[in-house]
């Protein structure tokens, strides 16, 4: 089978791999005839920031060519069976018009349900709703043994929890039954407030996360005078019923696919961040927004990742335990001093930890920072923070990682060896592999 060069969504990682795109579950079984020593990894919409869905010299399998379900059947209890290759956009279009929504929605509408499960995705409401794992009832998984296993909290529970957050390394998620949440409106009331420094911002965030359903903060890490200044957005669903419900996701702008250079640099970031901060009025603002306007603001710009040019960008996402806020403040104050450009920084508050073996979220704060990619050594500039983070019980989000030290894995994820044992039981021949799994010595 011919190989093709695939890139990560961030653009900083690439692999030359053969691709298999079956159109039925029966056809998917034949992928094991194609498998070789480098294995195969599931790939959804290709929205991984790093090398999670890349497999150099090996294979990629995608089920996005499976025929779409004619309609989304939702039971009276809010249960729905959804193909793993279904994007959140498709799922929300189908569910919202019927008065239901996924309780946990990640930051991009393009992510597939299978990809979100493999990342144990979270949203801007984790403090109240936890991660996606809380709303997965069943998973139909194509395992390395060539059989489809239905796993849940009672049947094959070890496989269930190893698959959630398992980065595609336990099998191909063909379908999942999810628990939806009933809604009466497709609108949010969004409150927005800006703060001159990080101490003020995080103190207000603690209250906002308690009082509102959703909370997120944009933070300016470029400004030398006011590093950590930012804007908090908090949202709650509108209580009055809408006449009709819909998930409309307009794209107002688009970025060309082939930019030979990056539009993201120190000057443009400084201008953008200053404009965003100073254009926000000082008093608290309150507006009504649709679901995509609040949950998926970046998706309104088609292919916004192309702003970073051919070299692309990477994201560093960490969780700092709630007892270690001074360390978070130190990161905020010092990150801009490194020879890296923190072009976009987002802060969220996290709640309870899931039962996933490789669970990322735990009570505390998660900071996600985008950096334009320069060369292979740039990620190592964060190594000191990584080591200290591990020492205080923090974690790196493996679903977005692009270069952490594998020696820190057992410290950050104390159930890693248990996960490896479960994976070895269901994949003794090491069929499921990726560039990330080999880099981090997971397989």
Query: pLDDT tens digits, residue range 132-154?
Result: 999 999 999 999 999 999 999 99
| 215 is a domain residue | yes
224 pLDDT band (50/70/90 cuts)? confident
| 209 is a domain residue | yes
| 268 is a domain residue | yes
- First and final CA of the chain: distance in angstroms? 24
Instruction: Report the side by side order of strands in the sheet with 344-350.
Output: 285-290, 187-195, 230-237, 214-219, 344-350, 364-372, 313-321, 395-396
360 pLDDT band (50/70/90 cuts)? very high
- Kindly tell me if the per-residue pLDDT of 317 is higher than 70: yes
Pairing of strands 230-237, 187-195: antiparallel
| 269 is a domain residue | yes
Q: 375: which residues sit within 8 A by CB, 6+ positions away?
A: none
Work out how many domains the chain is built from and give that number. 1
Q: What is the structure's pLDDT at 375?
A: 76
Dihedral sign from CA coordinates of 10, 13, 19, 25: negative
CATH at residue 393? 3.30.70.2520
Q: What is the structure's pLDDT at 251?
A: 65
- Kindly tell me if the per-residue pLDDT of 81 is higher than 70: yes
What range defines the domain where residue 321 resides? 187-411
| 131 is a domain residue | no
| 120 is a domain residue | no
């Amino acid at each position: 089978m011919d190989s093709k060069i695939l890139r990560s969504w961030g653009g900083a990682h690439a692999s030359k791999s053969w691709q298999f795109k079956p159109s039925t579950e029966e056809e998917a079984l034949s992928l094991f005839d194609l498998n070789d020593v480098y294995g195969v990894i599931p790939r959804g919409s290709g929205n991984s920031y790093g090398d999670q869905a890349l497999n150099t010299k090996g294979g990629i399998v995608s089920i996005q060519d499976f025929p779409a379900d004619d309609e989304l059947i939702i039971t009276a209890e809010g249960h729905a069976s959804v193909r793993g290759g279904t994007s959140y956009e498709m799922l929300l279009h189908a569910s919202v018009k019927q008065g239901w929504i996924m309780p946990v929605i990640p930051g991009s509408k393009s992510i597939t349900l299978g990809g979100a499960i493999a990342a144990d995705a979270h949203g801007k409401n984790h403090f109240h709703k936890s991660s996606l794992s809380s709303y997965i009832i069943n998973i139909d998984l194509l395992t390395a043994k060539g059989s489809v296993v239905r796993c849940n909290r009672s049947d094959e529970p070890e496989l269930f929890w190893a698959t959630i957050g398992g980065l595609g390394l336990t099998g191909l998620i063909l379908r999942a039954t999810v628990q939806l949440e009933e809604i009466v409106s497709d609108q949010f009331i969004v409150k927005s407030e800006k703060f001159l420094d990080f101490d003020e911002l995080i103190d207000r965030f603690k209250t906002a996360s308690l009082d509102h359903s959703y909370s997120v903060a944009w933070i300016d890490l470029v400004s030398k005078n006011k590093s950590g200044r930012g804007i908090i957005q908090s949202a709650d669903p509108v209580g009055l019923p809408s006449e009709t419900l819909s998930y409309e996701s307009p794209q107002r702008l688009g970025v060309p696919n082939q930019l030979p250079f990056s539009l993201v640099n120190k000057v443009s970031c400084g201008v953008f961040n200053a404009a965003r901060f100073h254009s926000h009025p000082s008093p608290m603002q309150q507006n009504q927004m649709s679901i995509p306007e609040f949950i998926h603001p970046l998706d309104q710009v088609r292919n916004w990742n192309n702003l970073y040019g051919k070299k692309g960008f990477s994201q560093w996402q960490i969780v700092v335990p709630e007892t270690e806020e001074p360390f978070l403040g130190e990161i905020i104050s010092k990150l801009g001093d490194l020879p890296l450009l923190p072009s976009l920084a987002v802060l969220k508050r996290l709640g309870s930890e899931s039962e996933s073996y490789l669970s990322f979220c735990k009570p505390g704060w998660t900071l996600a920072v985008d950096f334009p990619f320069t060369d292979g050594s740039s990620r190592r500039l964060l190594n000191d923070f990584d080591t200290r983070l591990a020492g205080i019980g923090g974690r790196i989000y493996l679903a977005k990682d692009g270069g952490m030290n594998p020696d820190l894995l057992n410290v950050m994820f104390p159930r890693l060896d248990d996960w490896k044992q479960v994976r070895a039981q269901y994949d003794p021949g090491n069929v499921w592999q990726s560039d990330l799994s080999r880099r981090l010595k997971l397989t």
